[in-house]
Amino acid sequence: MKEDRALPNVYDFDKTVVYPDGGATFIAFCMRRHRRLLRYLPGLVLELIRFAVSHGRAAPFKAEYYHFLRGLPDWREEVRLFWETQADALLKPWYLAQKRPDDIIISCSAEFLLRPLCEQLGVRVVGTRVNPERGRLEGYSCYGPEKIRRLREAFEGLEIGEFYSDSLSDAPLAALARNAWLVKGDMITPWPEGSK
């Protein structure tokens, strides 16, 4: 793959930089450790359905999705333990091999969850804004066109060298990049023509 050294590379996170959905994996991790959190499961499922129906624009989404955080003794410690015990298995080797300090990870997953890992990796992050103290979404989910708005807000005048994602819902970002790549597992192929 051609690498453009002059411009930063932008990566989706879930199923792109890591194998699973990071938010769902974190929730499962917390629920395995704290069985009392299972009481939040029905609300979580309902919010996932609302999110799917609204194509990622549901303002209430992740209000219930992260509501379970209020049932944790210390959400910061859970995030720390999650990445300490899970990062090696979740991160894709191809990303680690090409990671650069000017990389930007953009994700629908909560920024509070991704920030410790991204700091450890030495890269920048933009994610869905969630108040972990209240377990509430602040603004829209960082999904689809919202990713462009949030990137422009965080990095004025940003130009993208290479863009990587597992999802065609990221076509608006792919269209802004010099080169875009579709990621399926560990397989990376050029972004499909006509999908930008």
The span from the CA of 164 to the CA of 92, in Å, is: 13
Q: What is the pLDDT of residues 131-141, one digit of tens each?
A: 999 888 888 88
Domains of the chain, earliest start first: 10-190 (3.40.50.1000)
The span from the CA of 83 to the CA of 47, in Å, is: 25
The span from the CA of 193 to the CA of 191, in Å, is: 6
Mean pLDDT of 69-95: 97
Residue 124 dihedral angles phi and psi, to the nearest 5°: -95, 155
Q: What is the pLDDT of residues 18-61, one digit of tens each?
A: 999 999 899 999 999 999 999 988 878 877 777 667 655 555 45
State the angle between helix axes of 22-33 and 75-90 in degrees (0 to 180), rounded to the nearest 10.
120
Query: Tell me, what's the pLDDT at 50?
Result: 73
pLDDT-derived band at 82 (thresholds 50, 70, 90) equals: very high
pLDDT-derived band at 63 (thresholds 50, 70, 90) equals: low
Mean pLDDT of 147-162: 95
- Torsion angle, alpha carbons of 121, 126, 128, 129, to 10: 100
Helix (H, G, I), strand (E, B) or coil at 18: strand
DSSP letter for each residue of 39-78: GGHHHHHHHHHHHHHTTT--TTTTTTTTGGGGGSS-HHHH
| Among candidate residues 154, 78, 163, the one with its CA nearest the CA of residue 112 | 78
Query: Tell me, what's the pLDDT at 47?
Result: 74
Show Cβ contacts of residue 87 under 8 Å, excluding neighbours closer than 6 positions.
117, 120
Q: What is the mean pLDDT of the chain?
A: 90
Whether the per-residue pLDDT at 3 is higher than 80: the answer is no
The span from the CA of 6 to the CA of 17, in Å, is: 21
Query: Tell me, what's the pLDDT at 5?
Result: 55
The pLDDT > 90 percentage for the chain reads: 72
Higher pLDDT among residues 6 and 134, named by residue: 134
pLDDT-derived band at 184 (thresholds 50, 70, 90) equals: very high
The span from the CA of 46 to the CA of 44, in Å, is: 5
Whether the per-residue pLDDT at 4 is higher than 50: the answer is no
54, two tokens:
């609204």
Dmax over Cα atoms in the chain, in whole Å?
Answer: 50
Neighbours of 158 (CB within 10 A): 14
